Amino acid sequence: MHLEGLTLSFAVCILYQRQELFRTRTHLKSKIITQGRNGTVEPRFASRMGILRASDIREILKVTQNPEIISFAGGLPAPELFPASAIAERAAEVLASQGTVALQYSPTEGFFALRQIIAERMNTIWHTQLMPEEILVTTGSQQGLDLTGKLFLDEGDVVLCESPTYLGAIMAFNVFKPHWVEVATDDEGMEPEALEDALRTHERIKLIYTVPNFQNPTGRTWSDQRRERLVQLAAKYEVPVIEDNPYGEVCFEGTLPRAIQAMDSRGLVICLGTFSKIFCPGLRLGWVAANRRYLDKYVILKQAGDLHTSTVDQMIAASYMKTHDLENDIQHKRDVYRKRRDAMLSALEAEMPRGVSFTRPKGGLFLWVELPTSLDARQLLIRSLEQHVAFVPGEAFFPTSGRKNTLRLNYSNMPEARIIEGVRRLAVAVRKELEVGRPAQAPVSV
């Protein structure tokens, strides 16, 4: 927001400089006290602050508040699909009939009627067998990640994840200083041999973290076979699985994927859910669905973290779901997002030069682009912003192995014509980068 008014290329330079600056500062802060030149003392932060920095995405989003920019960088649902007037009606009803409850403190676990609705929906849609008492309402599923980190991770504990993985999980878990192990991942999910190899060779493995459906950032979905193998391996090695499932219901083709939690008879799979993609994100309503041996501990940590999630938002959501057909809303979102995905795929096919490949997600909000290995997506972003197009360089989604020739595109947040124009401009930027990056003619030997 404070970047407004700067030219775009300058803004991007600042982004880079800030990151460098941060690394330098972090180094300084690792000493106990650092006396500055003007006599002020550098704050002594916790050691975790050395590895945390502002999300690339958030920083890029600030640049892209310029309405001239076609931004594929965010992950925003289409706001024109929010049922604002129906929510206003529900707010009025809840506040009129139960205002003293809706505006008061409420149980940490969540508003019971909403926990019931969540359990019933999951059991219907995902074939789980959850009781309402196995649901904790969270302040968005991002809080589910924070609580997961708190519950399981001591410094140096190992988290196995897909490669690449969700940036918000990297940020949330890094607060607890884990050791990340990226498991080789292809279009069907983690490769089982690589997963078992990791489980066998690493000590202190606390979690297997996965976004199995229409993953952020790649749009990939796990095959059933891989899911079953994951559950077997988790049971064999007694490692809890975090099934982070924000996009599963945003499915464009065929039947829904199978829930990993529903395959698990050992209670080892902890599911994180959210209303952000199927209802609206501004209410910050997510949930943890887990066996009580886990859930009761999540509740203690939630209580220490923010006491409880907004009572009124929970009651509005519960009231909406009792009086409206959420499944119908979701079907509408699927139709809209499918068209936008199709527009993006067609444009990529038509515009991108050879050597650029991309995923073809069957749901969700994102697809993933691989550039020729000679290109760096951060450099491409600078050129792309000159064309007034933004995206997120893929490097940030790899907790350890940062692959520079990748990028994430979001297609949920704008009409098809704008998507097509944005991809056209992005392709111009890619071609320009390819030209610059072309190796100079070999010098004549002398």
Residue 85 sits in the site that holds a second copy (CB under 8 A) = yes
CA 112 to chain centre: 27
Interface of this chain with a second copy, residues 5 to 44, rule: CB under 8 A: 33, 41, 43-44
From candidates 3, 6, 19, 53, binder to a second copy by CB under 8 A: 53
Between residues 21 and 256, which has the closer beta carbon with respect to a second copy? 21
Output DSSP code: residue 414: S
Interface of this chain with a second copy, residues 103 to 142, rule: CB under 8 A: 103-109, 112, 133, 138-140, 142
H or E element, residue 94:
helix 84-102
Interface of this chain with a second copy, residues 172 to 191, rule: CB under 8 A: 172, 174-176
Instruction: Quote the least distance from Cβ 309 to a second copy, whole Å.
Output: 7
Residue 51 sits in the site that holds a second copy (CB under 8 A) = no
Instruction: Quote the least distance from Cβ 255 to a second copy, whole Å.
Output: 29
**Contact code string over 241-280 relative to a second copy, x by CB under 8 A:** -----------------------------------x---x
Instruction: Quote the least distance from Cβ 247 to a second copy, whole Å.
Output: 15
Instruction: Quote the least distance from Cβ 125 to a second copy, whole Å.
Output: 22
Q: Are 57 and 74 in contact (CB under 8 A)?
A: yes
Residue 4 sits in the site that holds a second copy (CB under 8 A) = no
92-108 burial, b for 16+ CB within 10 Å, e for fewer? eebbeeeeeebeeebeb
Instruction: Quote the least distance from Cβ 135 to a second copy, whole Å.
Output: 13
Return the residue matching tokens 């890029």: 60
From candidates 153, 161, 343, 345, binder to a second copy by CB under 8 A: 153
Interface of this chain with a second copy, residues 278 to 317, rule: CB under 8 A: 280-284, 293-294, 297, 299-301, 303-313
Residue 96 sits in the site that holds a second copy (CB under 8 A) = yes
- Whole-angstrom Cα distance, residue 139 to residue 103? 16
Instruction: Quote the least distance from Cβ 322 to a second copy, whole Å.
Output: 18
Output DSSP code: residue 32: S
Lookup: tokens for 446: 């002398």
Output DSSP code: residue 49: G
Instruction: Quote the least distance from Cβ 366 to a second copy, whole Å.
Output: 15
Strand order in 392-393's β-sheet?
A: 357-358, 366-370, 406-410, 392-393
H or E element, residue 52:
none
Residue 164 sits in the site that holds a second copy (CB under 8 A) = no
> Total binding residues for a second copy by CB under 8 A?
87
User: For 243, what's the count of Cα atoms within 13 Å in the CB-facing half-sphere?
Assistant: 26
Of the candidate spans 144-152, 353-361, 400-408, 435-443, the one that interacts with a second copy by CB under 8 A turns out to be 144-152
Q: Are 136 and 288 in contact (CB under 8 A)?
A: yes
Q: Are 382 and 42 in contact (CB under 8 A)?
A: no
Interface of this chain with a second copy, residues 320 to 359, rule: CB under 8 A: none
**Contact code string over 208-227 relative to a second copy, x by CB under 8 A:** --------------------
Between residues 125 and 301, which has the closer beta carbon with respect to a second copy? 301
- Whole-angstrom Cα distance, residue 25 to residue 21? 6
**Strand, helix or coil for residue 130:** coil
Instruction: Quote the least distance from Cβ 381 to a second copy, whole Å.
Output: 20
Between residues 32 and 442, which has the closer beta carbon with respect to a second copy? 32
Instruction: Quote the least distance from Cβ 224 to a second copy, whole Å.
Output: 26
> Residue 350: which residues within 8 A CB-CB, separation 6 or more?
none
CA 35 to chain centre: 38
Interface of this chain with a second copy, residues 381 to 440, rule: CB under 8 A: none
DSSP-assigned letters across all residues of 347-377: HHHHHPPTT-EE---SBSSEEEEE--TT--H
From candidates 2, 37, 354, 438, binder to a second copy by CB under 8 A: 2
Lookup: tokens for 430: 């890619």
Of the candidate spans 51-59, 188-196, 360-368, 438-446, the one that interacts with a second copy by CB under 8 A turns out to be 51-59
Is the four-CA dihedral 418, 421, 425, 430 of positive or negative sign? Answer: positive
Of the candidate spans 120-128, 145-153, 246-254, 352-360, the one that interacts with a second copy by CB under 8 A turns out to be 145-153
> Residue 255: which residues within 8 A CB-CB, separation 6 or more?
none
